[in-house]
Structure 1
Amino acid sequence: MKLLWELGALLVPIVLLVAGSRTASANPERKLKDGESVTRVTVDWHETVAVSRLTPSLQVVVNPLLRRDSPVHDAMFNSLAELKAHFVRYVPWKSYPKLAVTELEPPSGTAECRFITGTKETNEFVHIACGIGQISKVDFASFGNPTGFCGNLSVGKCHAEDTLEFVKKQCIGLESCSFPVNTKTFGDPCPGTIKGFAMQVQCKPPMNHTYYDFDLINQMLEDFMNATSNHSVIINFSTIPEWMYKDKDRVKYPDDPNQIAPYSLGTELVDPTAKQVGDYYGRLVSWYTQGGFVDEYGVERRSPYHYDFQYWECLNEVNGEHKNTPESYTRIYDQMVMGIRRHGDPAHKIKFMGLALGGALHADWYTYWLNKSNHVSDDIPLDAMSFHFYASCENRTDPVNYQEFFARADTLVSQVSNVTSLRDAMSPHTLIDIDETGIILPDDNVVGAPMFPLVYYNAAGAMFAYLYGKLAATGIDVLGESQLVGNPTLPDLDLPSQYPSVAMLNWTNGLGNARYHVLKVLIENFQPGDKLVKTTAVQSSKPGPVGPDTSFCGRVPNLEVMNLKCTDPTATIDKILFASYGTVKGYICGQFEVGKCNAANSTDIVEKACLGKNTCSIDANTPVFGDPCVLTFKYLAVQARCTHGNGEGTGGGGAEPVYAQAFTAPDGSNRRYILVNKTPEHQQLQVAGATGATAYLVDETRPTGPAEELKLTSDTVRLLRYAVMVVVLPKTG
């Protein structure tokens, strides 16, 4: 089959590069340029500012490209294995029901059913078998749009009248029967419309029926566990079977496991205690950890698996899915823990992670779930909790817009202290995992959306490295990059788009892009227990001492809150140097410009809220500023000054185009830097002590990686746009 995979031409060309150590000037684009401004990086190696608890990791979401019949299956799992990551999150997700849910239909007693969802050109094959005995009766059969659940099926407005008689002739008296489901078999009762199929039979002797199907799910989980062998994993089968909710009709799902469906729709559980949910997950875990389980009818089902799952995470983005509340979610969490322990973890070895919230600012969720009195017993563990962060920008193809990622990242950093403070006060032993960290570009799943340039992956990798450095000082425990596999629409494989901007691997060959290689460099060079030491990065037009700058900035998107604060508690904000609510130009503090859309009252409102105060907050929204451009996405950007000392603002990004942070091992040895170019412009740096160091560089000159290993011949280096460099200094003494 002639595939896009073979051509390697959709996005990332296959580039063969000779591995090995080079000098920093090996690539001509990285040669230093006369007249460029220089960012001078200095370090006090003896002043520790924080001790890191942070582990860099990633999440793997199920995707058809990870199936064994995918042409990139082997390469993708090899890439995962080569990361050697800990705390790897694995998520069979609702978009692919047949890859995520092990029991898609409810137990149906002595009635046995088969369903085909169908398409306008339905042409599937149905097979049904009694296991023992024979099919004695056909209760129902309909080709058209049948409705209802097994045991309570009805014909719809579209129905082929001869379906029942045909099925009876094909099946009664046989141990099993099979036949094609299409208009050739049944005729066309409603031309031009989607037609499905449902049938219900009885067996003799009677037997109870369940609908467990682990085949495809087993394969992908096996491959994941092999690729992460000897490393900790976080397993999250995030999708509750839809039949456990009070739906008016059976929720349909694609016959093809590679197709996407809106599956998680229900809002009220059939069993309000959630014990049914807990038992489902208990049996699922038992299948993989205890060698099988006993089903709802007491039938023992055996498996070959005895995996160790270090962590089990309970559901995904629960503040959005199924309209959960903190109360309803905590009830499900407790029952899931008890069900898993009852069926699949009798020794209580598995640790449990809760929440997986969409976004950081959900104090009501944290405070409820972290309160032990809200759980059914003190035995319910609160081992870890999680939330997610995704940045974006206005234009998916313009690299200048990618600077916005860092402003969004700064907003997250400003929010994290609220989360860690609650954790520290209520449950200090609970780990915090930001287990989905990434970027979703505008129109990412829109058919026909223009493809972004390769440098996007450099910018996304740079944001992750920036967040790693910033969050290492905050008490967060795990930062998981999202996600290993994504893809655009792939017509040759009949695959719909699945967030190509989150991909860490090239969907044409399974090899890593810049996001992957930045993560790999971080995993190989940083670990919990590292000390962060005082690091200063100041830009100047020529070498020499640089005086203090007491101005600072904030930049937030619409509907968020801008917080401004003078670092010295005795200082106050005495001047607003810039303020604009609208389509602000620029991302670096000191380089903001008023765009075409601007609220004329911006400066007056900010001055009124902030002047003379040590701290202030301004809501970035139209009730405060009015709407200078209806139906246009807006930002609030502010540059302020304190009477003395520095300040900080939400999403401010700092005045410098390069982020630098130095680390040491706990004993002060193994000195390292993270250097990140946050801009679409090349940057020169003078890095104290870098001469003779080994550097690992991820930039746009090597789109397929791996990171380039360099021997630095001077303290001066040049970073291309959105480049990331880790510098490991020579050992001293």
Structure 2
Amino acid sequence: MYINKCLLVLLLCCLTLKSVNLLLIREADNRQHNQTNADPIVIEVSWTAHDYNLHTIPSLQLVTNPLVSRQFSPVSKEIFANLKQLNAEYARYAVWFPYPKLAVAELDPPSGLLQCSNVGENYPLHLSCERNGGVISQIDFASYGTAMGACGQMKQGSCHSNNSLSIVQRICIGQKSCTIIATNDIFGDPCYEYNWDYTEIFNEIEGEHQMSIEYYTRAYDAVIQGIRRHTNNYDMKYVGMALENHNEFNFYKYFLNHSNHAPDIPLDMISYHFYAIGTSRTDPQSWENFFPQLDKFTIEVEQIEQIRKNLSPQTRTTIDELGVILPNDNDPNAPLFPLIYWNAAAALYAYSWGKLSRQNIDVVGHSQLVGYPQLPNLQLEPQYPSVALLNWTTGEGTAKYWISKLLIDTADIDNDQAVITRTSDIGDQNIFSQAFTSKNNRRWILIINKRYASMDVSLSGCIGGKMQIINEASGFGPPTEITLTSNQITLTPFAIAIIHMPTAKK
């Protein structure tokens, strides 16, 4: 709830936003990316041979930062429109510590003349004009819901109780001070469509918070007990640990042991993170190394999964930060990467989802929706530009965004099943491929070029099918759709394709 009271002086604050820097476009270097395979790589699919059930949900992370702020950002409208268009399940909203004033309302201290106040649901709001011996004479704004804006510039949000102002006026005007509890019982529920199922308790506990696992486990229990005590909400589910260093195996062994927790504490889900680390910001050839890093990570995931299954098999897993971080990412003087980087990072996410789906991981969250380099016109310092899914100048989707959407739109979780897929690519050094079928005889195959070179592949029976391809040519637009007229397909560097096979003949 936001309340502006005892108003004697009208304050107007204006913020002029100049146009932000255009996203630097660099051409990929002029080397010829000759096809490395003399003959096409042959993909063979046994469409009736079951491999594993598809259970892994593609999702994403949204971290709060100034470019997301509706009051500040020139592209916030586009950002939230694209977020809505994704229609992602299990999206992670991280209220990150570098921006505490975007997570909690920043309010001016009481002056005795003009006051603003804000509290969360179920908390008391205190108003007072006693400082100068006065009484509350006027309430100019009140909103129970999702109001926004700085003091003197408050506006109603997407949900708002229409009786907010009249209730506060009735209780407070003429009083030296008053107290109002921000509850649905008083104001009604203006946001009844809002659904928040999981709360993750702290982020990167051993990194940001430097907690031992013993201390964290006690804190995890205490937070849940506090939430239940104050809200009487026993339906909320919880996510634990959010480890930065995912291979802290002793952390899993301790936390997933129910005997280390207070009685009746749920272990609904655990989380941990993975970022492939680049060695160059400008050399696309070096980005081929993202994929071996992911291969090593999946070996460690196997170890984590074995611990989880032994100690707490009902606990689910979300890898809720997965992506790439390039070197010197927050250095204002670091060179910006060529546009094909978006394709390399998108290919890494698609590859991660494909590999982790075999391990039955519940959620794989793409990191992250918004990042940016230094933006002088907005007075913003860099915030991990290499992790962004959206163009920070226009709000358009990068290849990272479009592969997330393509996987979300294509994969029918818990209905599709993977089938045996083989290739002539020895050791899968150049491409990744995995085919899926569904109960309605739909057949599709994910193919990823892991190389900074064009690759030809041969897929029998695909003529007449449809290909959706994300490559350098698709740029900041959606996948290019092509009706296939040949069994041979060319994948340009770091391209990702989903082939929708023609309907099988009965």
* Paired residue type of 1:504: L
Q: Is the 8 A contact 1:102 1:214 kept in 2?
A: no
| Residue 406 (structure 2) aligns with | 521
Does the alignment pair 1:77 with 2:80? yes
* 2:331 is equivalent to residue 446 of structure 1: yes
Is 1:709 the counterpart of 2:486? The answer is: no
Deviations 1:550-592 (CA, angstroms, capped at 9, x unpaired): xxxxxxxxxxxxxxxxxxxxxxxxxxxxxxxxxxxxxxxxxxx
Contact in 2 for aligned 1:12/1:506 (Cα 8 Å): no
User: Pairwise CA RMSD of aligned residues?
Assistant: 3.2
Q: Quick one: structure 1 residues 388 and 522, their matched pair in 2 at CA, closer, same or farther if it must change by over 3 Å?
A: same
Change (3 A) 1:398 1:522: same
Partner Cα distance (1:328, 1:104) in 2: 33
Asked if structure 2 preserves the Cα contact closer than 8 Å seen for 1:55 and 1:527, the reply is no
Q: Provide the C-alpha distance between the structure 2 equivalents of 1:456 and 1:425, rounded to a whole number of angstroms.
A: 40
- Which aligned pairs between 1:258-277 and structure 2 lie closer than 5 A? none
- Checking the alignment, whether the CA contact within 8 Å between 1:387 and 1:435 is kept in structure 2 is yes
Partner of 1:350: 236
Distance (Å, rounded) in 2 between the aligned partners of 1:312 and 1:724: 33
1:341 corresponds in structure 2 to: 228
The offset of 1:433, in angstroms, is: 0.3
Q: Secondary structure at the match of 2:182?
A: strand
Cα distance change on mapping 1:510 and 1:103 into 2, 3 Å? closer
Q: Does 1:88 align with 2:84?
A: no
Relative distance call for 1:216 and 1:93 in structure 2 (3 A) is farther
- Between the two proteins, what is the percent identity of the paired residues? 37
- Contact conserved, 2:471 with 2:494, CA < 8 A, in 1? yes
**Paired AA for residue 474 in structure 2:** R
- Pairs within 5 Å for 1:621-660: 654-660=427-433
Q: In the TM superposition, what is the alpha-carbon distance from 1:439 to its structure 2 partner? A: 0.6
Seen in structure 2, the aligned counterparts of structure 1 residues 370 and 35 have a Cα distance that, compared at 3 Å, is closer
Q: Give CA deviations for 1:148-194 in whole Å, capped at 9, x if unaligned.
A: xxxxxxxxxxxxxxxxxxxxxxxxx6779xxxxxxxxxxxxxxxxxx
Q: How does 1:242-321 map to 2 (within 5 A)?
A: 300-302=181-183, 304-306=190-192, 307-321=194-208
Report the Cα distance in structure 2 between the residues aligned to 1:707 and 1:476, rounded to whole angstroms.
Answer: 26
Are 1:364 and 2:366 counterparts? no
User: Counterparts of 1:592-611 in structure 2 under 5 Å?
Assistant: none
Q: Does 1:401 align with 2:286?
A: yes
Aligned residue-pair number = 439
Inter-partner Cα distance in structure 2 for 1:76 and 1:12: 24
Equivalent residue for 2:55? Answer: 53
Query: Whole-Å Cα distance in 1 between the matches of residues 366 and 246 of structure 2?
Result: 16
Alignment of 1:644-683 (within 5 A): 654-665=427-438, 667=439, 669-683=441-455
1:712-723 residue pairs with structure 2 within 5 A?
Answer: 712-723=484-495
Indicate whether 1:332 and 2:219 are aligned.
yes
Unaligned segments of structure 2, at least 5 residues: 1-15, 118-125, 137-145, 160-177, 185-189
Letter in 2 for 1:718: T
| Partner residue in 2 for 1:42 | 44
How many angstroms apart in 1 are the aligned matches of 2:156 and 2:429?
A: 44
Q: 1:131 Cα shift?
A: 3.6
Distance in 2 between the 1:481 and 1:433 partners? 11
The yes-or-no answer on 1:472 pairing with 2:357 is yes
2:310 is the counterpart of 1:421: no
- Conservation of the 8 A alpha-carbon contact between 1:37 and 1:683: no
Shift in CA distance, 363/48, structure 1 to aligned 2, threshold 3 Å: same
Give the Cα–Cα distance (whole angstroms) in 2 for the partners of residues 726 and 221 of structure 1.
Answer: 43
Q: Is the 8 A contact 1:537 1:656 kept in 2?
A: no
Q: How does 1:455-534 map to 2 (within 5 A)?
A: 455-529=340-414, 530-534=416-420
Secondary structure of the structure 2 residue equivalent to 1:317? coil
Letter in 1 for 2:313: P
Displacement of 1:3 in angstroms is 3.6
**2-side partners of 1:221 and 1:434: how far apart?**
35
Please tell me whether the aligned partners of residues 432 and 447 of structure 2 are also in contact (alpha carbons under 8 angstroms).
Answer: yes
- Render the CA deviation track for 1:58-108: whole Å, top value 9, x for unaligned: 010001111113110111100001111101000111010111246999xxx
- Residue 538 of structure 1 contacts residue 656 of structure 1 at CA under 8 Å; is this kept in 2? no
Q: 1:314–1:355: 8 Å Cα contact kept in structure 2?
A: yes
Amino acid at match of 2:437: T
Superposition pairs of residues 158-169 of structure 1, within 5 angstroms? none
Q: Is the 8 A contact 1:54 1:528 kept in 2?
A: yes
CA contact (8 A) 2:23 2:391 kept: no
Shift of 1:411: 1.0
Distance 1:100 1:76, change over 3 A: same
Change (3 A) 1:128 1:43: closer
CA distance in 2, matches of 1:175, 1:12: 63
List aligned pairs for 1:203-242, cutoff 5 A.
Answer: 215=148
Q: Which of residues 376, 393, 416 in structure 1 aligns to 2:262? A: 376
Going from structure 1 to structure 2, the CA distance change for 1:62 and 1:35 (only over 3 Å counts) comes to closer
The residue type paired with residue 516 of structure 1 is Y
Q: Quick one: structure 1 residues 411 and 214, their matched pair in 2 at CA, closer, same or farther if it must change by over 3 Å?
A: farther
The structural deviation recorded for 1:214 is 8.4
For 2:101 and 2:487, the matched residues in 1 are separated by 55
Distance 1:339 1:522 in 2: 38
Distance 1:360 1:426 in 2: 18
Larger deviation: 44-53 or 80-89? 44-53
- Amino acid corresponding to residue 688 of structure 1 in structure 2: S
Q: 2 CA distance for matches of 1:98 and 1:464?
A: 31
**Deviation by residue 1:235-292 (Cα, 9 ceiling, x = unmatched):** xxxxxxxxxxxxxxxxxxxxxxxxxxxxxxxxxxxxxxxxxxxxxxxxxxxxxxxxxx
Q: CA deviation at 1:2?
A: 7.5
Is the 1:313–1:352 contact (alpha carbons within 8 Å) kept by the matching residues of 2?
A: yes
Higher relative contact order (CA 8 A, sep 6+): 2
Partner of 2:141: none
Instruction: Tell me which residue corresponds to 1:598.
Output: none
Provide the rounded CA distance (Å) in 1 between the counterparts of 2:116 and 2:366. 43
Shift of the 431–128 alpha-carbon distance from structure 1 to 2, 3 Å rule, reads closer
Q: Give distance in 2, aligned partners of 1:412 and 1:397.
A: 24
* 1:691 shift after superposition: 1.0
Residues 519 and 386 of structure 1: CA distance in aligned 2, closer, same or farther (over 3 Å): same
In 2, the alpha carbon distance for the partners of 1:437 and 1:511 equals 21
Q: Tell me the secondary structure at the aligned position of residue 389 of structure 2.
A: coil
Separation of aligned partners in 1, 2:272 and 2:392: 27
Find the residue that maps to 1:323 and give its secondary structure: coil
**Distance (whole Å) between structure 2 residues aligned to residue 305 and residue 327 of structure 1:** 38
Q: For 2:38 and 2:149, how far apart are their aligned partners in 1?
A: 56
The CA deviation at 1:420 is 1.1
Cα shift readout 1:599-650 (whole Å, capped 9, x = no counterpart)? xxxxxxxxxxxxxxxxxxxxxxxxxxxxxxxxxxxxxxxxxxxxxxxxxxxx
Q: Is the 8 A contact 1:66 1:220 kept in 2?
A: no
- SS at 1:524's partner residue? helix
Contact 2:147 2:156 in 1 (8 A): no
Give the partner amino acid of 1:403: E
Q: 1:9 to 1:101 in 2, by over 3 A?
A: closer
1:133 positional shift: 3.5
In 2, Cα distance between the equivalents of 1:220 and 1:359?
41
Q: 2:317 aligns with which of 432, 435, 442?
A: 432
Paired residue type of 1:660: S
